[in-house]
Each structure stands twice: as C-alpha cells, then as structure tokens.
C-alpha cells in the first residue's frame, strides 16, 4: 500500500511563497524532466505562478545560474553578469 499523502496535502509555491493545496499546484522540476520521476522530489508552483512562466527550453540554465551565483558579490552583479551571458547565448 502506498503511503498517505496527508502530510503532503499542502505545498509551498516556490515563486510567491503561498501555501496552496497540492491539488491546486503544479509540479516543477528544475532539471526540466518532470516525466522521469525516479528518485525525485519536486518543488511546486501555484497555478497563477505556473501560468506566468515562460515555457521555453532551459538547457544549461541551472548550471549557468550556479556559476554566476558563485562569482557574484550581490544582486546587482548577479543580474548584470546574467544579462551579459544571456545576450551572448541569444546571438
């Protein structure tokens, strides 16, 4: 028998921080492969935040963000470096 979901009936939206019923949320997989469920823990988005997402390919985005975060000394330098690299990737 599968375990009870009672402890997981309420989730936190990673975008806005709201607590929402699991049935009113969407699973989010930062690796972009939500169909491969083996050994995964999913984060969640409320439906309004999910609908606001741009559903574009994001190959390598997580690694890029981690690299920028490691070198950044604050929010402004992080955003500046991300903008520079994003523009290069677009070209």
pLDDT in tens, 10-50: 999 999 999 999 999 998 877 666 677 777 778 899 999 98
* Global model pTM greater than 0.75: no
Kindly state whether residues 31 and 12 are assigned to the same domain.
yes
d(CA 85, CA 49): 25
On whether both 23 and 47 belong to a single domain, the answer is yes
The answer to whether residues 48 and 85 belong to one domain is no
In a domain, residue 1? The reply is: no
Same domain, 37 and 65: no
Residue 82 lies in a domain: yes
For residue 43, is it within any domain? yes
Asked if the structure places residue 30 within a domain, the reply is yes
Q: Is residue 47 part of a domain?
A: yes
What pLDDT is stored for residue 16 in this prediction?
A: 94
Long-range contacts made by residues 41-48, C-beta under 8 angstroms, separation at least 24?
43/14, 44/11, 44/12, 44/13, 44/14, 44/20, 45/13, 45/14, 45/15, 46/13, 46/15, 46/16, 46/18, 46/20, 48/16
Count of the separate structural domains present in the chain: 2
If one compares 28 and 69, the residue with the highest pLDDT of the two is 69
23 within some domain = yes
> Same domain for 12 and 47?
yes
């Amino acid at each position: 028998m599968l375990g009870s979901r009672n402890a997981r009936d309420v989730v936190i939206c990673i975008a806005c921080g709201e607590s929402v019923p699991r049935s009113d949320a969407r699973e989010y997989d930062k690796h972009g492969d939500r169909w491969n469920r083996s050994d995964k823990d999913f984060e969640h988005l409320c439906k309004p935040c999910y609908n606001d997402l741009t559903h574009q390919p994001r190959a390598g985005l997580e690694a890029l963000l981690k690299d920028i975060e490691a070198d950044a000394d604050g929010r402004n330098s992080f955003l500046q470096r991300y903008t520079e690299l994003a523009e290069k990737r677009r070209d």
